[in-house]
Amino acid sequence: MATEFTMPKLGLTMEEATILEWLIADGQPVAAGAVVMRIETDKVETEVEISAEGVLHHVAREGDVYPCGAVIAYVLSPGEDVPAPSVPSPIAAAPVVSIAPRAPVTTAPVHGRLAASPNARRVAFDRGIDLAGVVGTGPGGRIVSLDVTEHRIAVDVPSILNRSGVAATSDAVELADLLGVDLAGVVPDHPSGPVTRSAVAFHVRTRLSTQQVAAPTAALADVPLLQTPSRMVRLAGMRGTIAKRMHASLRDMAQLTLTMDADMNAVVGDRETRKVTGRAPSFTDYFVAAAARALAQHPIANAQVVGDEIALLPDIHVGLAVALDNGLIVPVVRHADRLRLDSLAAETSRLANAARGGALAPTDLEGATFSVSTLGMFGVDAFTPVVNPPNVAILGVGRIRDDVVAIDGAIGIRKRVTLSLTWDHRVLDGAPAAAFCRSIVEALENPSSIG
């Protein structure tokens, strides 16, 4: 039997959602647990899994809004047909049913005030519907929420003419002005009706979901824009993930950063020697290898917090932040402490190429227990990297520079680098963090120790 796939209800207050994208095409097979679509509610954009197995048959369109519980697809067994009447009504494009005009006496204001239940007022506000146009069916003509959800804009609803010369409600004009939306481009809910607030909101949502761009959607709804933006960028996809993870990191951990200089003459010399015999590792490889060896000596830095406990992790996997055009990605060198420098270099160059080519496997991105982030190429010496949850520390690497230093009472010029270690003070204190960083410095000053 065909299994119905309905718009899920993902929270108590969720009433509807927009289908942003079908991730599995119409007519394709699906396995139970597969992610089949992305939806956007008034709160979040999220992926939705399916629990049935078979062939997916779409009945709902991308870009349309559907109420929770509406059938939006079927999962069919081999050889099975789609059940008969299967086209759901998206909310924004509800077919207009002709209804007998109801006696407007039922909206007679009680004591000179429009009688509407608190819930009706809330629902009307959310949808940008003016209660004055809604006929109440509750006791005494009270407008209840069902009257609002069943309400359709009647053709003769008085509408306001605005600058664009488009018939629109005052709420719609207000929102369009706020967002800099041209009302002429907004499709009204009803072909002959005025543009409503919800139609403007729908128009903006649709446009945002088709552009590759990001600003916090919440800000759009809650915070007035300072200016008419030249462009809106969605906080979605990679940008959204970075935003969420970095914010959570700073919110949930007690982070602080120390800096320490390392003498790089030995590393520079080691590289020169290796260049003669073959491919030399990059400087970054030395930092990853040094950090991995230091993590082995300081297990507390290779840990994560679980509930009210610190879990010390036996395996050392070092993530390497790689900048991309529109974000960053952190491929992982697994068991970095066990790799000799040359094999570590081969692995990081494979990962970096795959990252820039978008060809990383999920396993290449999972399980980092520590990360290294380099900004030296931009001339940065010290900075405050943000810990990549659930790790407890991250190493920032600055530029390698010539420093004038005192050596045994004489003045000399040395290659030096500043390391910036950010750590979670909940897990380790300043002294052990400094000792850990010291071990990285010592490994760099003695590259034969990292093979």
Partner 1 sequence: MSDRKLSYAHAFREAVFQAMQADPDVFVAGEDIGAFGGVFHTFDGLQKEFGEDRVVDTPISEQAIVGLGVGAAVSGLRPIVDLMFMDFICVAMDQIVNQAAKIKYMFGGVPKVPLTITTTGGAGVSASAQHSQSLEAILCHIPGLKVVYPSNAYDMKGLMTACIREDNPTVMVKHKRLFGASTIVPEEPYSIPLGVAKIVRPGTHVTVIAYGRMVTDALAAADTLAAEGIECEIIDPRTLQPFDIATVVESVRRTNHAVVVHEAVRFGGLGAEIAAQIQEEAFDYLDAPIGRIAAPFSPVPFSPVLEQLYVPDAARIADGIRAAVARPGKGR
Q: Which residues bind partner 1 (CB under 8 A)?
A: 12-13, 102-103, 106, 117-122, 135-139, 141-142, 144-147
Catalytic (active-site) positions: 425, 429
Distance (Å, whole) CA 364 – CA 358: 12
Nearest distance in Å: CB 118, partner 1: 5
Q: Assess contact for 364 and 333: CB atoms under 8 A.
A: no
E strand intervals along 23-143? 29-30, 35-40, 45-49, 54-58, 65-67, 71-76
Nearest distance in Å: CB 107, partner 1: 9
- Listed in sequence order, the residues at least 6 apart from 5 whose beta carbon sits closer than 8 Å to its beta carbon are 36, 50, 52, 56, 71, 72, 73, 74, 75
Distance (Å, whole) CA 391 – CA 127: 43
Distance (Å, whole) CA 185 – CA 65: 19
Nearest distance in Å: CB 128, partner 1: 16
Q: Between 117 and 349, name the residue whose CB sits nearer to partner 1.
A: 117
Nearest distance in Å: CB 320, partner 1: 46
Q: Which backbone phi and psi does 322 adopt, to 5 degrees?
A: -120, 120
DSSP state of 368: -
Q: Between 124 and 208, name the residue whose CB sits nearer to partner 1.
A: 124
E strand intervals along 133-193? 160-161, 167-168
Nearest distance in Å: CB 113, partner 1: 16
Tokens at 30, concatenated: 């699906």
- Cα-based distances in Å from 198 to 91, 130, 204: 10, 11, 10
Dihedral sign for Cα 166, 171, 173, 175, please: negative
For the stretch 87-110, what's the b/e string if a residue is b when 16 or more beta carbons lie within 10 angstroms of its beta carbon? ebebbbeeeeeeeeeeeeebbeee
For the stretch 358-394, what's the b/e string if a residue is b when 16 or more beta carbons lie within 10 angstroms of its beta carbon? eebeeebeeebbbbbbbbbeeeebbbebbbbbbbbbb
Distance (Å, whole) CA 221 – CA 305: 35
Distance (Å, whole) CA 25 – CA 62: 11
- In terms of Cα–Cα distance, which of 42, 36, 33, 40 is closest to 59? 36
